[in-house]
């Protein structure tokens, strides 16, 4: 009986540390998609074996911080991004020609506007990092302004791949008042 309980305990620990983690959403930076106190399950395996896509919701810990953040992947590595009055443009340069497309964001409500912050509105990602923003753009501490870390002025912060805990897989026990 004790050996069975030890075996089960090892399976639980393995899943908890290597497969999936439970988290509770803090703050309202991802509203209305995720609200404060939503309970989520984070898949730790998928980001390690497949590429993250634009629009994926991830959990990560920025350097200098100890609490995990939940944000949406907006821009992928090696892209240039421009925040304009009515949204976001993703730009790629091929043969010295810059081609920009407006980012469709169906997860945002019609009233949400993406404004630039900290004096910059063009971002270029040159590393294996991800630019992330919350769905509640007015109240989101995100890559646009360095997560309010001690960064130099006029800078952004891209989330390094190694800082990503995982991709949000499932939401349990959401705040039913929003439905």
Going from the C-alpha of 133 to that of each of 19, 70, 72, 74, the distances in angstroms are 25, 9, 5, 7
d(CA 42, CA 20): 5
Catalytic-residue membership of 29: yes
Going from the C-alpha of 177 to that of each of 106, 108, 124, the distances in angstroms are 22, 19, 39
CA 45 to chain centre: 16
Catalytic-residue membership of 140: no
Task: Spell out a b/e string for 46-78, using b for 16 or more CB atoms within 10 Å of the CB, else e.
Answer: ebeeeebebebbbbbebeeeeebbbbbbbbbee
Q: Could you say which of 29, 129, 140, 143 is catalytic?
A: 29
> Are the C-beta atoms of 28 and 35 separated by less than 8 Å?
yes
Task: Show Cβ contacts of residue 98 under 8 Å, excluding neighbours closer than 6 positions.
Answer: 80, 91, 92
Q: Could you say which of 44, 71, 82, 167 is catalytic?
A: 71
| Residues known to be catalytic | 29, 71
């Amino acid at each position: 009986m004790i050996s069975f309980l030890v075996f089960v305990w090892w399976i639980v620990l393995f899943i908890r540390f290597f497969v999936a983690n439970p988290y509770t959403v803090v703050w309202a930076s991802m509203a209305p998609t995720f609200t404060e106190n939503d309970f989520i399950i984070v898949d730790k395996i998928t980001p390690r074996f497949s590429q993250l896509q634009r629009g994926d919701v991830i959990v990560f810990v920025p350097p200098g911080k100890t609490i995990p953040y939940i944000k949406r992947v907006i821009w992928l590595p090696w892209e240039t991004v421009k925040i304009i009055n009515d949204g976001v443009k993703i730009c790629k340069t091929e043969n010295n020609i810059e081609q920009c497309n407006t980012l469709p964001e169906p997860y945002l409500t019609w009233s949400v506007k993406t404004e630039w912050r900290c004096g910059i509105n063009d971002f270029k990602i040159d590393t294996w990092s991800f630019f992330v923003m919350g769905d509640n753009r007015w109240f989101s501490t995100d890559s646009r302004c360095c997560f309010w870390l001690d960064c130099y002025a006029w800078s952004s912060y891209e989330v390094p791949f190694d800082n990503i805990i995982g991709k949000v897989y499932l939401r349990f026990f959401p705040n039913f008042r929003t439905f």
